[in-house]
Structure 1
Amino acid sequence: MRRNRSTMLAAAATAALALLTLTACGGSSDGDSDDAAEPAQKPAASASVKVADSALGRILVDDSGRTLYGFTKDKPGASKCDADCIAVWPALTSAEDVKAGTGAKAALLKETKLGEGAEQATYGDWPLYYYVGDATPGDVNGQGLDGEWFVIAADGKLIKKTV
């Protein structure tokens, strides 16, 4: 019975993650069905990156306190996150240059091209992403997922420890 219960809990967790992923992939309400050419997340008018304390140490967050992650498959300054990936790990994009806030080093903050005119913020060598599973500022639910997603420290390096 214990094994069946564990299996059912694992299945429920997988279903919840799938539902979360599908929700993140929702289409636009304007009737335009050509979502493939559009970024998964509309660029914010402006954004900043700052450093905040967390259970993992001092990490990068956006101006709202939402945790920012790096993807180990990315190459320095270039995203390898495809459309399915972006649905779960939206890129930090902004219509204006992303600014360095408290504790962040402006020299490490740059941008990389995502596609049709969209630019993603990078810090050090890492393009910056959010995780859709982080519900509130300060959440670090994406830490260590698939052994590929990690929060970024103020020095621009990935923090690979767990909470």
Structure 2
Amino acid sequence: MKLRNKRHFPATTGLGLSLAAVAAFAVACGGSGGGGGSSASPASGHASAPAAGPSSGGSASAATIGTRSGGAGTYLTGGSGRTVYLWAADKDGRSTCSGGCAAGWPPVTTTGTPKAGPGVAAGRLSTTTRADGSKQITYDGHPLYYFSGDRAAGDTNGQGNDGFGAKWWLVGPDGSRITKAAPSATGGSGSGSGNNGGGYGSGGW
């Protein structure tokens, strides 16, 4: 009887070890599968994070068009109160001023939707795409420009200038060109240089 019991016990022990090994292998496989599944979650969360970036950056860079009153009446202004102009040579809402013209008469550009300041009609504001891909602000269909000869807010040295073959005019809040003469605010840097249009730097603007 004792010999039979001794022969029976090793078989039971061997079976128990085999079952334990199978169970351990199954747990190991299940653990590695679960680990693979959990790694996908952070990846999807990381990919969605940058989506909000571009929209907030664009609106923060939008330019504002305002107004100012002076000797020629009430006219439009751009950044820092700088006077803006239209060019009589432009047609159909598109700019024809480039190269040396654009150096003397820098286009008023924006990287967002332009904003209307007090006295400005938001519905008249829009943009046109220039050859270099930049967005130039238009008002009532007129592309807007600064004049490099203006040195400070309120300067209107470009008024009536005929640089590059056509007149440059101040722009009224109703979108019309203002043809009334305006007193020069800075004397020597006035409109007499307009025939080359590029004789001045940006003046620190």
* TM-score normalised by the chain length of structure 2: 0.56
Partner of 2:174: 155
User: Residue 107 of structure 1 aligns to a residue in which SS?
Assistant: helix
Aligned-pair identity in percent equals 40
Give runs of ≥4 in structure 1 deviating > 6 Å. Answer: none
Shift of 1:46: 2.6
Aligned: 1:53 with 2:72: no
Please give the alpha-carbon distance, in whole angstroms, between the structure 2 residues aligned to 1:45 and 1:141.
28
Aligned length: 120
Which residue type is aligned with residue 118 of structure 1? Answer: S
Which string of whole-angstrom CA distances, capped at 9 and with x for unpartnered residues, describes residues 96-118 of structure 1?
A: 11111110000100000112321
Partner of 1:110: 126
Instruction: Mark the runs of 5 or more structure 1 residues left unpaired by the alignment.
Output: 1-43
User: Residue 64 of structure 1 aligns to a residue in which SS?
Assistant: helix
Partner of 2:20: none
Please give the alpha-carbon distance, in whole angstroms, between the structure 2 residues aligned to 1:118 and 1:107.
21
Please give the alpha-carbon distance, in whole angstroms, between the structure 1 residues aligned to 2:129 and 2:79.
22
Which string of whole-angstrom CA distances, capped at 9 and with x for unpartnered residues, describes residues 72-102 of structure 1?
A: 0000310010211000000000111111111
Which string of whole-angstrom CA distances, capped at 9 and with x for unpartnered residues, describes residues 30-79 of structure 1?
A: xxxxxxxxxxxxxx933100111111101000141100000000003100
User: Residue 120 of structure 1 aligns to a residue in which SS?
Assistant: strand
Structure with a larger share of its residues in helix: 2
Residues 6-155 of structure 1: matches in 2 within 5 Å? 45-146=61-162, 148-155=167-174
Please give the alpha-carbon distance, in whole angstroms, between the structure 2 residues aligned to 1:135 and 1:116.
26
Partner of 1:34: none
Q: Which has the larger radius of gyration?
A: 2
Please give the alpha-carbon distance, in whole angstroms, between the structure 2 residues aligned to 1:116 and 1:143.
27
Which residue type is aligned with residue 72 of structure 1? Answer: A
Structure with a larger share of its residues in strand: 1
Instruction: Mark the runs of 5 or more structure 2 residues left unpaired by the alignment.
Output: 1-59, 183-205
Higher relative contact order (CA 8 A, sep 6+): 1
